[in-house]
Chain A
Amino acid sequence: MSELFIRKVATWIEPPGDDGAALAALREVFGKRVARRMTRLGMMVSQVLKPMTIDAGTSLVYASTYSEACAIEKFLKSFPFPSPQMFQTSIHPSAPEQYLIQQQQPVGEFFPLAGGTDILLRALDCVYACGGDSLVLCGGEEVGTWLLEAGVSSLSNYAWALELSHSASDAIGHLCWEEGEEFSALKLELPRFVAALNERAPYCVELAQGSRMELVWSA
């Protein structure tokens, strides 16, 4: 059983049916001049990374299945005159880089993951393997337009971040997980996991073949 302790948590979830109001408010937080150069995912991820303690010794793990869907769409549509700005911002892992470059904040190790249903489990394994005691795990997704219609974009806008430690001191909760012998069989619904983070609610997935993951909050 692998275990990591939670020191800080931050989430940004677009309320259902809000018709872009929350994103517009987020744009105001960054200011129009700065926001113009950012993607929606970049703004969401920046917002959840702000409370995290990040320094040059931090190991940062970022998980996004579809990454910069809107920038990819705009870059593709810019052909035959490809847009350098859209190319630059479309490149995974643009979202956390938008925040860290604004802050001029170097980090030691940075592991951006792509991938599908088990991306959370793989990201947890990745951050668990990192040494040191400054660990940040984050992720996010943004809704595309024509890529959404094609089924290759997230269905919702959200971002999340966890400051983690191998040590239990100052923990507000913990995550533990293990995989069964045959294969993982652990299909986690990331939006449900992020909702649990947002509500500080427990979350437990237990499946056949001994695979399980549990999110527990301290009293």
Chain B
Amino acid sequence: MVYLQHAHCLTALGDTAATCDALLEGTIALQPQVVPGVEGEDQVPLAWMPQAAIGETPRWFGHLQALRDQLPDRPWGQAGYPIFVTSSNYGIDHLFEYCQSGVAKVLEWGTPHNIMAQLQARFGWGERMTVFSHACVTGQLGLLQAQRAVESGAAQEALVFSFDFLSPFVIGGFHSLKILNAGMPAPYHAGAMGSIGLGEGAAAVVVGREPTPYRIGGQSLYNEMYHFTSNAPDGSGFEQIFKAAAALAGGDRVWVKGHGTGTLEAGQLEAEAAARHFPGSPLLSWKGSIGHTLGSCAVVELCIAIEAIRRGQVPANLGAEAPYFSDAVATQAFAAGDYDGVVLTSNAFGGAHAAMLLSYE
């Protein structure tokens, strides 16, 4: 049995508690802003976290420091306490900056392994750091390997450290693909046009064997390999992952925190698969407020889910209105105590799918 020992996140709405407060109030963090670094004045929905540079560190480093400061005191990165670092972009903003300015010093944060060296030096972490990058399911790869490390006895506790911050590279890239446009994201809304919003997020989760009210009931992955940026139109990937999640849940009463970015096709396929495998279970996404926090989304949203369970109130699906792709979309906050667990899903480029069952008392 593996349990969540610690979970804390930061979003554009603040820390875990502030984010949960704001989501329960229906606050939308995303704001239309001009796409940085590109020709034109197109506006897209973005949710930035505050500047948090410490000395000559990146503008976002203070957020990582804040997460690290709240961790339980363990020899992280040393024998028995591995770290799984998850991000889709790491320091890609620094490669963009280098390309524009030619200032070599920014490259100290420009690659995943340079960032790992910085974290080791600044946080006193050891070298047992596994670095994953698989677009928007990255966070859950870390959660799955952390679970396995604890289950196998290779780890006493494992830390999943996750972050993704916005940059012209990322915003310009999504905008060039025309999936980030002027529309605000409306997860699971059956409309004429879909859009996503991008947000910043960072989170730290510790898993271990010490029983807590929050148990990882299982996790599953599936990769369609249908297209680089689209899911298989027959919904086979969503079918596979929700089928696996339903097998994990057995007959438990669960609510479903879906991926729900606001794209039409994926939203419809996901809502339909969720309804098939979890009939009557509320379905929701918070990306209509905090935006899609990319590779960190699985870990960030897990932290919010735990906070919601702790409070007893789960924030509703945000940013959208009827009609929906499914009657199960939660339009109002609801009581966590009416359920035994939550299924959390993620979906990424390449048709990558991930699901976790979190059971709670």
Contact = CB atoms under 8 A, between A and B. Distances in A.
B331 interface: no
B3 to A, nearest CB: 19
A110 B176 CA distance: 27
A110 B134 contact: yes
Interface of A: 65-67, 72, 75-77, 79-84, 87-94, 97, 100-101, 103-119, 122, 125-126, 129, 147, 150-152, 179-185
Contacts of A84: 173, 176-178
Contacts of A105: 225
Contacts of A88: 177, 228-229, 349
Given A82-B172, A122-B131, A101 B227 contact: yes
B116 A115 contact: yes
B350 interface: yes
Given A75-B169, A76-B95, A81-B39, A183 B130 contact: no
B111 interface: yes
Given A80-B39, A126-B130, A115 B112 contact: yes
Contacts of A81: 38-39
A101 B175 CA distance: 23
A73 B78 CA distance: 35
Contacts of B163: none
B223 interface: yes
A103 B224 CA distance: 11
Contact of A129 (B92, B129, B152): B152
Interface residues on B, range: 35 or more
A129 B219 CA distance: 14
26 contacts: A65-B111, A76-B99, A82-B37, A90-B173, A93-B134, A94-B228, A97-B350, A103-B225, A106-B226, A108-B221, A110-B221, A110-B223, A111-B132, A111-B134, A112-B134, A113-B130, A114-B112, A114-B113, A115-B131, A119-B131, A122-B129, A129-B152, A152-B110, A152-B111, A183-B126, A183-B127
Nearest to A107: B223
Given A97-B228, A181-B79, A65 B113 contact: yes
A81 B38 CA distance: 6
A77 B95 CA distance: 11
A180 B37 CA distance: 47
A152 B107 contact: yes
A109 to B, nearest CB: 5
A109 B228 CA distance: 17
B223 A151 contact: no
The 6 A-B pairs with the shortest beta carbon distances in the complex, nearest first, are: A116-B113, A87-B173, A115-B131, A114-B112, A100-B225, A82-B172
